[in-house]
Amino acid sequence: MVKSYASALDLKDDKVLIEEYKKYHQNVWPEVKNSLLGIGILEMKIYLLGNHLFMYYETNDSFDPQVDFQRYATDNPKTSEWDNLMRKFQQKLKEAKPTEWWASMEQVFDLTQ
């Protein structure tokens, strides 16, 4: 079975920074992709509207986002560097829990159910 999650985050409302963020995500470092796969993420997509980000991802059954997600950034120095670099573009949502950077979203509809 595959589990799915959705999260939200804002970028700083600066067109230059947003374009730079998009360029980074058009060429994500291989270490980042490998680390995300290594922690159990099977699929990930990030969407942008204005300065609002929406992330959808699917994981293996044992994945726990509270425990596992941020592990990708501690796998090696390159993934930690990526995480720190991306935070210069991002800002937490007011709805985020104190322990969250990306705010977890509640699923309210599933076409298959």
Place of tokens 């290594």: 38
The 10s digit of each residue's pLDDT in 70-85 is: 888 887 899 999 999 9
φ/ψ of 36, rounded to 5, equals -60, -45
The Cα-based distances of 82 to 6, 14, 22, 46, 108 in angstroms read 21, 20, 14, 16, 32
Q: Is the CATH number of domain 3-104 3.40.30.10?
A: no
Q: Extract the runs of DSSP E, i.e. beta strands, from the chain.
A: 3-11, 41-49, 52-59, 90-91, 103-104
Give the residue extent of every domain in the chain: 3-104
The 10s digit of each residue's pLDDT in 7-60 is: 999 999 999 999 999 999 999 999 999 999 999 999 999 999 999 999 999 999
pTM attached to this predicted model: 0.92
